[in-house]
Amino acid sequence: MKDFPIDPPLAAGAKRVLVAGGTFDPPHRAHLHLAMAAAKGSGCDHVLFVPAGQSPLKSAPATPAAHRLAMLRLALEGEKRASISTFEIDRGGPSYTVETLRALRAALPEAVELRLFMGSDQLRWFDQWREAAQVAELARPVVVLRPPDTLESLRAAGVGESRLAWIVSTPADEASSTQAREQIARGEDASGLVPASVLAYIRAHGLYGSGAS
């Protein structure tokens, strides 16, 4: 699609697509496994990963987009139910989910439904997102619990039942990009968090203080 690049293109029979955004700095086990499990749990037949150009909620600069995109492509290699869009990277500037979803909705056939993948940490402040109600209308959120969150802790934090209804059951996974970056910087083995092909790329380019091999 010219106005919303997707590589590889969605299958002609795709009926429901799960949109997974993030900085993917680096892409790790939970990014991939939880997104695919959430897709299955919500009846989606394809996952569209949309790496952010610049997150409006993160002050620290991300690794250059070219590296993050290359690592994500390596992580998804061989996964036939997943694609990547460079829409937010190509556009530049802060990446607001509502703007991305509007552009994607306009580019896809009307019959294709959209869902939005997010972790429970994001659910806590979802109502503070730009045009949160419009986001939920464009793509109903599909939420996975991320430790230490539980249904009880989310209720205690003031998350309403209508929001909790978005949660789908997936295996627990505590992996995070911060954890991966810290392990790599310390010279520790991060192969349990990051795919081998991505770890090799990180070392080859000296990312996260790894030093070039």
Residues of the chain with confidence (pLDDT) below 70:
1-2, 55-61, 172-174, 211-213
pLDDT of 92 reads 84
**Tokens at residue 71, please?**
């690592």
Give, in degrees to the nearest 5, the angle at Cα 107 between 48 and 32. Answer: 5
**Tokens at residue 98, please?**
């509502």
Per-residue pLDDT of 31-69, as tens digits, reads 888 899 999 999 999 999 999 987 665 555 689 999 999
pLDDT of 213 reads 45
Q: Name 212's bridge partners.
A: none
Cα within 13 Å of Cα(157), Cβ side: 18
Which pTM does this prediction carry?
0.92
- For residue 101, the surrounding DSSP H or E stretch is helix 97-107
pLDDT of 74 reads 96
pLDDT of 53 reads 85
* 8: Cβ contacts below 8 Å, ≥ 6 apart: 83
Cis peptide before 8 (omega within 30 of 0): yes
Q: Give φ, ψ of 79 to 5 degrees.
A: -90, 105
Domain boundaries along the sequence of the chain: 16-173
| Residues across the chain | 213
pLDDT of 13 reads 86
Q: Name 82's bridge partners.
A: 47
Q: 3-class DSSP state for residue 132?
A: helix
pLDDT of 69 reads 96
Burial 35-60 (b: 16+ CB within 10 A, else e): bbbbbeebebbbbbbbbbbbbeeeee
Per-residue pLDDT of 164-180, as tens digits, reads 999 998 876 667 788 88
**Fold classified for 16-173:** Rossmann fold (3.40.50)
**Tokens at residue 169, please?**
């059951």
pLDDT of 102 reads 97
Give, in degrees to the nearest 5, the angle at Cα 183 between 24 and 174. Answer: 60
Asked if residues 51 and 19 have their Cβ atoms less than 8 Å apart, the reply is no
